[in-house]
Structure 1
Amino acid sequence: MRHLITGAAAFMLASTALAHTGHGDGEVTLSERVGTEYMVMQTSADQTAQEPFLRGLALLHNFEYDRAATAFREAQDADPDFVMAYWGEAMTHNHPLWEQQDREAAREALAKLGSAPADRAAKARNPREAEWLGAVEILYGEGTKEARDLAYLGHMRSMFAADPDDIDIRAFTGLAILGSSHGGRQIPIYMEAAGLLEPGFMTNEMHPGILHYLIHSYDDPVHAPLGKRMAERYAVAAPDAGHAQHMVSHIFYALADWKAT
């Protein structure tokens, strides 16, 4: 039987039943706080795949890409036909704010689910998962990277228009907007992303993705005061994510808040 549970429920379940104590390469301990408890995405995964998937999702929002990929592969092992685990691993190969993408590695991750897009789409268990899978098929499809980025953004905009209450759709759409600023920071694009993300902060003020992408949106001396609210929360939401600790310093440095930095 498959279950629909929230990130908080999965985190509490995992904390009591699946605690790790090792510190080997690639091993993640549940004492590490990366924002898993703030993940609310509902999935069709088997119960044993929920915790690693939601942990991977939190790490993905934190740009902790290698750790996220490890978690998503754990979810694949627990539920081999769970399409979102492959979506997640593929997403770890796209670094939009750094204008980096490893399309071949992402395609290899997707190929574990099925050899062709149609084969993979047939494994989606509901329309929402099909939409997420369709998004990465576009992101790593044919054409130049810039063209694929814009096509992916168009797909995310459609998903957002259909369900603006989904916090992860909002977060990834905001990130896709930021990623469309090719060739440098274009303030109008970054402010557009901020405008889309801000309502998510009102409803999910500790969501790592919302906090992280708003900090990037406001990461300049003029707009840094707007990012102070997010910087005050982000390090608390994901204290064991190195990038989260790094990003808050951008805002406090711009504000000359040396103590907070």
Structure 2
Amino acid sequence: MEQVRLGEWIQRAGLSKSYVSLASGVSRSSIHRIENGDADPSLGTLRELAIACGFDLDIQIRPLSDPAAAQAARSLLEQGLEPDRPSEVVQWVRRFERLGLQDPIAILDYAGRSSGLLALGAPSAYLRGNVDDLRLASAGDATGAQWALSGQPHLQLGAGEPISGVKVLWTEKPLLAASLLADTLPVARSSHTASVIVAAATPALFQGSFMHEGIRYVAPIQALIDGFSLGNNLAKVAESIAKEW
């Protein structure tokens, strides 16, 4: 779950923290910890805080898609990775620990399924059609931002033989990248019919990326996580490569 933006609730309501504390029955110190992301309040507590601010909660479930899961797996398994663990990454590390995940393949698989490449929201885009890797690289370069390929192009490098599957263009500017590909690749009806995913990325994802024959690829471990996330034959290829490490 995303960090609760309690400070924004209070500001929008034009109320003081003292009033919100009184109306909700939540102490000022607890409100401070929730604001800073240092507390994990129950839904009941959140609803009382929302009501005190004149709002209510609308809780929905959706397919899991949290890039912090991949970042947590990389922080555990990747040598030389910067040990930057924001609170959301620390939470995922704790989830791995609660499940007793120690086998690297089990961690990669769980992180892949939890990072949810097939359940991304805006501004990521799902496209369909055939496109070569150089065309994707050209679109990435044209954004002027960081980008790297993953999915089928990367796993094919590791497999050493042709494989089929979804291509992933990670970029800091997915809307621009998708628009640059619009003349070649129309929007897919769903993520499961996409042949190309233009995925929104944060700078942390590009740690360990590398150039090969003029194309930038994500770090090998990120490609494995993405393979498990995409499922089907790419998950099998990712598992096969991981077993050889």
Q: Tell me the TM-score normalised to structure 1 length.
A: 0.27
More helix by share: 1
More strand by share: 2
In our comparison, the structure showing a higher alpha carbon Rg is: 2
Q: Tell me the TM-score normalised to structure 2 length.
A: 0.28
Greater relative contact order, per chain length (Cα 8 Å cut-off, separation 6+): 2
